[in-house]
Amino acid sequence: MRRTDPQPEPDPAAAPGVGAGYARRLCELVERFGLPRQGLLRHAGADLAGWDPAQARIPLPALLALFRSALVLTGRRDLGLEFGRHARPDTFEVLGYALMTCRNLGEAISLVPRYRHVVFDAGYSETRLAREGDALKFSWVILPEASEAGLPYSDVLAESLIASWYGLGRWIAGADLPLREARFRHAAPEDSLPFANFFACPVRFDAGENALLFAAELLEQPLVQADAELNLAMCDEARRFIERRHGDTGIAAQVRRVLAPLMPKCEATLAHVAGAMGITPRTLQRRLASADCSFQGLLDDTRRELAQVYLRDAALSALDVALLLGYAEQSSFTRAFRHWFDTTPSAWRARHAPPST
């Protein structure tokens, strides 16, 4: 008999956390099936018996235990699909509201990898968008270090997340979203018909990945509750949430602090920021990649935030603001501002600047 080393037991205190909105949605779903929430929590383990749904996070092992207990108590193998059917923005905390207020589906999808740690802490999974032939593939990948840390793969968790992407996508678009294919890395259940009915496309199990495939044209699908200013606020809150989780010493926060004084000198470049931090550009790029950040993304975020601050100052002209943000021309600033807020700096200032006395 082949000898296998035992898997390490995950330390709940050290394990990655998950946004409590995800666990709350599961509890609400179980209650829809007529089972009391406290019964689910007690069945999932002593550590969860006193869990407060108002908490900001829940350890990943506890969430996995909740899903296992929900399967046992409900007997519903399509539990993950039902979870996705009822997914709403609050399932994904502030990230969900950022997605909902995007202009189109493509913009929303681009936010998920950027702010995914609002929902799942680093160390368990990541999301990826890639091209496959003439289609796009949006996938949820369990990291190798997850199994090394004793965090198991969960069929129903994977199904709930993939179904949630589809269910929430349809909800925020207010329209059907035709898929090319849905894929799951695990084996098919005894009855896979509910999966074909839910996704309305071919569903492939034992596919080696969890993913949705769709036509690139879907990225242009407008969202019914698009709101540029609210979207900015929600993205900023998502960023601040992640920074609070990582502490003020995170690489993103450090870069933002260095960027502000460099922008008026037109020195907001990777090389200048790295030099100010006493590291090489390659080291900075590597650290940003490890934190799921990009230099251009941080520069855009910083400019977008400071633009609102500067435009509220009546003493600064639009050209002054452009120069303070490191733009060589006012027209470049205006184009960027239109992209962020779907309006011009002067129109934004007319609505938001304090009245003159």
Query: Of 91, 221, 101, 102, whose CA–CA distance to 163 is shortest?
Result: 91
By the 8 A CB rule, do 288 and 294 touch? Answer: yes
Going from the C-alpha of 221 to that of each of 14, 104, 116, 140, the distances in angstroms are 40, 5, 22, 22
Q: What is the model's pTM?
A: 0.74
What is the structure's pLDDT at 309?
80
Please, is 194 exposed, middle or buried when counting C-beta atoms within 10 Å of its C-beta (0-12, 13-18, 19+)? middle
Tokens for 165, please give them.
């992407």
Q: Please report, in tens digits, the pLDDT of each residue of the chain (357 residues total).
A: 333 444 444 444 456 889 889 999 999 999 999 999 888 988 988 667 667 767 778 889 899 999 999 999 999 999 999 999 999 999 999 999 999 999 999 999 988 988 888 898 877 888 888 899 999 999 999 888 787 778 889 999 999 999 999 999 999 999 999 999 999 999 999 999 999 999 999 999 999 999 999 999 999 999 999 998 888 889 888 888 887 776 545 788 888 888 888 998 889 999 999 999 989 999 999 988 877 788 998 898 888 888 888 887 788 899 999 999 999 889 999 999 988 888 899 988 887 665 554
> CA 172, CA 174: separation in Å to the nearest integer?
6
Residue type, 339: H
Name every residue whose Cβ is closer than 8 Å to that of residue 74 and which is 6 or more positions away in sequence: 30, 33, 35
111 CB neighbour count, 10 Å cutoff: 18
pLDDT of residue 271: 94
CATH dotted code for 247-352: 1.10.10.60
Per the document, the length of the chain is 357
pLDDT number for residue 308: 81
Burial of 106 (0-12, 13-18, 19+ CB in 10 A): middle
Can you give the pLDDT at residue 126? 86
What Å distances lie between residue 241 and 26, 234, 248, 294, CA to CA? 23, 10, 11, 18
Domain regions of the chain by residue span: 17-220, 247-352
209, amino acid identity: E
C-alpha–C-alpha distance, residues 178 and 284, integer Å? 40
Model pLDDT, residue 45: 85
Strand, coil or helix: what is 56?
coil
Which one-letter DSSP state was computed for residue 188? Answer: P
* CATH classification for the domain delimited by 17-220, as one of 3.30.420.10, 3.90.1520.10, 3.50.50.60, 3.40.50.300: 3.90.1520.10
Q: Is residue 210 a contact partner of residue 161, using CB atoms and an 8 Å limit?
A: yes
Structure tokens belonging to residue 131: 């091209």
Nearest to 137, CA basis, from 98, 180, 175: 180
Specify the pLDDT at position 251: 83
What tokens appear for 229 in the block? 């200013």
Confidence (pLDDT) at 348 = 84
